[in-house]
Amino acid sequence: MKNAILASTSTLHGQNYLSYLLPEIAKLFKNCAEIVFIPFARPGGITHDEYTGSVKKVLKTISINVKGLHEFENKEQALREAQGVFTGGGNTFLLVDKLHRNNLMMPLREQILEGTPYLGSSAGTNIGGLTMQTTNDMPIIYPPSFKTLGVVPFNINPHYLDPDLNSKHKGETRETRIKEFHTLNTQPVIGLREGSWLEIKDENIILRGTPSARIFTVGKEPMELVSNSNLSEII
């Protein structure tokens, strides 16, 4: 029984960290007095302690205690005993490398599939898919594998951006990059725009938030998925 939220971002423009998601986080972790936070993605290179401290500060406002996974000597046991898990954003390559090299990817997957509430944002959402190959991040480290949790049967592109028709920038768009991915890979890709998230309950995968999402499938034109649609009925 899966119970998860995979959010495109932790912070909307002009808002505080996690503020737009707090009501959903409170519902997700309603039975959790304490959760484990995975700070391995280290946005901007901040330390594990600094990252965990920022999460502790916010979740304290909804009466949830937080411990960073890096604080545990036996990290696998910490995941298996966690009441809930939150994986923060940052660099997906670094996150995936750390999870694989510490043999934590499979234990985390198993806990999510068994029903441990899971929250991911940005990189923490990217690893919810089949592989991390549709991340936007720089490959600052080479992980042992690109395979990730497979909580959903597709890949995810968080922070999906539509082409700016007024821009003079001539570099590749996100859509172009995803089409490149599909020349060598077959799984669908969901482009999650800012302010949207996937709510996963058992086998249902519901798009939440105001923005629509963009679905890319091999051999087909991209399609728009409106908020509150069930992806499990489409993919």
Q: Which one from 121, 122, 182, 196 is the annotated catalytic residue?
A: 122
The two tokens of residue 103 are 């043999």
**19, 159, 212, 229: which is the annotated catalytic residue?**
159
Q: Are 111 and 99 in contact, with CB atoms under 8 Å apart?
A: no
Q: Within a 13 Å sphere around the CA of 160, how many CA atoms are in the beta-carbon half?
A: 27
Residues whose CB is less than 8 angstroms from the CB of residue 32 and which lie 6 or more positions away in sequence, other chains included: 64, 83, 84, 117
The residue among 127, 109, 125 whose CA lies nearest residue 193 is 125
**Length in residues, the chain:** 235
Q: Where are the beta strands (DSSP E) in 61-116?
A: 65-68, 85-87
Return the structure tokens found at 220.
Answer: 């087909």
Measured distance CA(203)–CA(230) in Å, rounded? 10
Q: Is 159 a catalytic residue?
A: yes
Residue pointed to by tokens 């049967």:
153
Of 54, 137, 182, 196, which residue is the catalytic one? 137
Output the six-digit token pair for 138: 């720089």
Which positions are catalytic? 122, 137, 159
